[in-house]
Amino acid sequence: MDVRGATRFSCMSCSFSSENITSLEEHMLEEHKKIRCARYKCSSCNYSAKSSKLLTTHCLVVHSIPTFYKCPLCSYETKRKNDMPKHMLGHYKDGMHNK
């Protein structure tokens, strides 16, 4: 509240405040849209992401030493651990697991 008893809505990112919530919303969209869109920043480059999951994926793919997951039944390799179960399923469907 201000000295007249009116409720004030304050920006959490700067000193802006207003008696009107709509004005605060407009301020946030115009002045702080970059903060809202890119909250997660990579510490190794200037990449930024909207979620921590996207940032983690970026760091693993771009900045880490590649780890290859190798199929024990063929020459298939992948950087993504989650790709291997789908690949292995193909072997089992083809009956290669018995060879």
Which range marks the domain in which residue 48 is found?
Answer: 38-64
- Whether residues 27 and 4 share a domain: the answer is yes
11-44 pLDDT per residue, tens: 877 888 888 888 877 887 777 765 555 577 888 8
Instruction: Please work out, in degrees rounded to the nearest 5, the angle formed at the alpha carbon of residue 27 by the alpha carbons of 21 and 32.
Output: 130
| Number of independent structural domains in the chain | 3
Q: What is the pLDDT of residue 74?
A: 92
CA-CA-CA-CA torsion sign (81, 85, 90, 94): positive
- Whether residues 54 and 77 share a domain: the answer is no
Instruction: State how far Cα 37 lies from the chain centre.
Output: 10
Nearest residue to 80 (alpha-carbon basis) of 97, 93, 64: 64
50-71 pLDDT per residue, tens: 778 888 888 877 887 666 788 9
- Whether residues 94 and 76 share a domain: the answer is yes
The pTM of this model reads: 0.33
- Whether residues 58 and 80 share a domain: the answer is no
